[in-house]
């Protein structure tokens, strides 16, 4: 049985390491990480992950621009995306209208992260 692969795109090293640890240990995911939208787009095309966890607020190319590029690329358009945001719950409805599978708010509970990712993808 192959493990599920998830691409995590976030510009903060600490967040990447925490998410990677949580998803690998508690969720059984194989985690691929990217520090920018551009790097994430390339990794998504090359690795075809089962899901993408995408930070909304990043320098250079933000998460929403990255999302649009993922959705417009035939190679990556069917990969489910979950947004990770510090913007708060009041904009959650706006994000779900973008065709994402879910929205997780920062700060998140590390012990529940894998469970929340699974629920969003179910």
> Residue 25 and residue 22: Cα distance in Å, rounded?
5
Three-class secondary structure of residue 76 per DSSP:
coil
Q: Tell which residue, 120, 31, 26, 30, has the closest CA to residue 82.
A: 120
pLDDT computed for residue 111 by the predictor: 94
Task: For the chain, list residues with pLDDT below 70.
Answer: 1-2, 87-93, 95-96
Interatomic CA distance for residues 52 and 49, integer angstroms: 7
How confident is the model at residue 90, as a pLDDT?
46
Q: Please tell me whether the overall predicted TM-score, pTM, comes out greater than 0.95 for this model.
A: no
Which pLDDT value is given to residue 98?
Answer: 84
Angle at CA of residue 75, ends 85 and 33, nearest 5°:
40
Give the bridge partners for 33, in sequence order: 8
Give CA separation, 52 vs 86, 90, 103, in Å.
17, 22, 12
């Amino acid at each position: 049985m192959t493990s599920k692969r998830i691409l995590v795109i976030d510009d903060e090293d600490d967040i990447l390491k925490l998410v990677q640890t949580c998803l690998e240990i508690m969720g059984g995911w194989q985690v691929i990480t990217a520090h920018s939208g551009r790097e994430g787009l390339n990794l998504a095309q090359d690795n075809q992950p089962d899901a993408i966890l995408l930070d909304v607020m990043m320098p250079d190319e933000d998460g929403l621009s990255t999302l649009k590029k993922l959705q417009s690329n035939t190679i990556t358009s069917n990969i489910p995306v979950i947004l990770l945001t510090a913007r708060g719950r009041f904009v959650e409805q706006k994000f779900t209208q973008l065709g994402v599978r879910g929205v997780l708010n920062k700060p998140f509970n590390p012990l529940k992260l894998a469970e929340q990712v699974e629920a969003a993808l179910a």
